[in-house]
Structure 1
Amino acid sequence: MNRVFLVDDHTIVRDGLRALLAHEPGIEVVGEAGNGQELLDLLPTTPADVVLLDANMPVLDGLATTQRLRIEYPQVRVLILSMLAHERYIGQLFDAGASGYVLKSAEKAEILVAIQTVIAGRQFLCSDLGLNMLRKVLAKEEEPEETNKVSRLSRRETEVLQLLSEGLTTNEIAEKLFTSKRTIETHRQNILEKTQTKNTAALIRLAVTQGLLT
C-alpha cells in the first residue's frame, strides 16, 4: 500500500483529493497538512511514500518544503499540485527534488496517472504544461535569426544605427545626441557584436532588410 500525504492550505482542495483517492487501489491517504511546516512536523509520526504538495502556501511554501524533504526525507517522492504555470518556477521545483508537477485544472484521470507515475519512480509533467512549453520552443525556432539579432538592440543603439545609415560621422552623431565620441564608438561596437556583422555597411544592409530603418 502506497502512503500519500496531502498538503494544501485550502481544506476544500484536500477534501477533493481525499475523495478522489478514496477508492483508488494501492493508495492510502495517511495524513493532511495546511503548509509545509505542518507536514514536516507530522512526518516523523506519520510516514509517507508520496506527498501531494501545493506550491503556494503560507509559512513554508512548496519550493522550500521540497528542498527540506530532499535533505530530511530523501525517500519521499514529491508531486506538486498547483495553479502556478511559470516555467522557471516549475524548473526550480524539479531541481529542488520534485518528481512531478500537475496543474490543479488537470482532469482527475491525469492526476491519478501522475500519482502512479511518481510512485513508480518516474517523473511527470502534466500535458497542458508540456504542450505550452513545446509551443514556445517551436515559436522561438521559427523566428528568423536576423530578427533576433536586430531585436537585441537598445533604444539608443537603434538611434545610433539610424544616424549611421544617414551617413553621419561619429562626431556628428555625438553632437546630435549630446554625448561623447567615445560613447558613440562604444555603441557602434556593441551594435556590431549584437548583430554579428563585420562592418557598418553589412550592419545597415541587415537593418534595412528587417525594416528597422526609417
Structure 2
Amino acid sequence: MKKEAEIKVIIVDDHKLFRKGMAGLLGNFKNCKVISEANNGEELAQQISAANCPDIVILDINMPVMDGYETAAWLKKNFPKVKILALSMNDSEEAIIKMLRAGANGYILKDAEPEELHIALEELTNKGFYHSDMVSGALLNNIYKESDTTIKNNELPELNERENEFLKFACTELTYKEIADKMFVAPRTVDGYREALFEKLNVKNRVGLVLYAIKHKKVKVV
C-alpha cells in the first residue's frame, strides 16, 4: 500500500498560544508535519527557503510588522508553488476578497471544527484551493485549474461594458454605494448589475465574482 504523502506546514500567527495549539492539533493529523512557526510575515520570510519550504502556509491576517495581506503577496511572488490557507476570525467579504487578490488559495475561520481544517489542508494539496461554501461549487471546480488557460472569449458569458466595469469595481474594497458613485449611477442600478452577474456567472456572492474575475484575468492578483 502506497504511503500517504506528508503535508509540510508553516504556521504564521502573532499569538504564541494559538500557534502552539494549532501545531498540536496538526500533529494529530497523520499526514501533516509542522516544520516551522513564525510570529509574522517578516519572520516567515527569514525562515522559508528552498531547503525549508512548506507545501502550505497557514496564515493569520492581522499581525504586526508584516500582515497577512502583505505576506500572501510576498509568498505569491517568491514562492508561487506554496499554497496559502488564510485563517482568521474575520468573515467579511472585504477581508476574503483582499486575501484572494493577494494570492490566498483558501480561507477558513478560526472557530472552524478541526475536521474542516484537515479537509482544507487535504483539498489545498490535492485540488489547489479550499473555500468552504463561500462560493458555488461549480465555480470552485474550475477556478484554480492550471490547465484551463485557453478558454476562448466566445465560451464565456457575454458581459456588456457596464457589467465589466462593475465587475472590476466589485474586486476592490469599495462598498456597493461607493461603486454606484464611481459609476455615476443610482445604487439600485448597481444592485441590478450585481444580480445580473450572479445569474450569468453562476455565483452567489461577491467573493464568487472576485474568483471569476481572477480566473479569467479580468483583474490581476496583486
Provide TM-score, normalisation by structure 1.
0.58
Tell me if 1:86 matches 2:86.
no
**Alignment match, 2:7:** 2
- Aligned residues: percent identity? 35
Residue in 2 aligned with 1:18? Answer: 23
Q: Check conservation: 1:103, 1:126, Cα contact below 8 A.
A: no
Quick check: 1:106–1:126 contact (8 Å CA) kept in 2? no
Q: How far apart, in 1, do the equivalents of 2:67 and 2:29 lie? A: 28
Residues 83 and 128, structure 2, Cα contact 8 Å, conserved in 1: no
Corresponding residue for residue 46 of structure 2: 41
Q: What is the CA-CA distance between 1:130 and the residue it aligns to?
A: 5.7
Deviations 1:114-144 (A, max 9, x none): 11111113321244x569xxxxxxxxxxxxx
**Matched residue, 1:155:** none
What is the distance in 1 between the residues matched to 2:90 and 2:132? 12
Partner of residue 119, structure 2: 113
Q: How many residues align?
A: 136
2:58 aligned partner: 52
The question of whether the paired residues in 2 share the 8 Å contact of 1:63 and 1:93 is answered with yes
Tell me the equivalent position of 2:104: 98
Write the distance in 2 (CA, Å) between the matches of 1:110 and 1:130: 16
User: Which residues of structure 1 form unaligned runs of 5+?
Assistant: 132-151, 153-189, 197-214
For 1:88 and 1:123, the matched residues in 2 are separated by 19
Matched residue, 1:29: 34
1:19 is aligned with what amino acid?
G
Q: How is 1:195-214 mapped onto 2 (pairs within 5 angstroms)? A: none
Alignment of 1:120-131 (within 5 A): 120-127=126-133
Q: Give the number of the structure whose alpha-carbon radius of gyration is greater.
A: 1
- Answer 1 or 2: higher relative contact order, Cα 8 Å, separation at least 6: 2
- Where does residue 68 of structure 2 map in the other structure? 62
Compute the TM-score of the two structures, normalised by the length of structure 2. Answer: 0.56
In 1: Cα distance, 2:34 partner to 2:96 partner: 25
Letter in 2 for 1:92: K
Q: CA RMSD in A?
A: 2.3
> Structure 1 CA distance, aligned partners of 2:119 and 2:8?
16
Q: Which amino acid aligns with 2:34?
A: V
Which is worse superposed, 43-52 or 27-36? 43-52
1:73: which partner in 2?
79
Secondary structure at the residue paired with 2:61? Answer: coil
CA deviation digits over 1:75-99, x for unaligned, max 9? 1100001111120221121122111
Describe how 1:183-194 pairs up with structure 2 within 5 A: 194=186
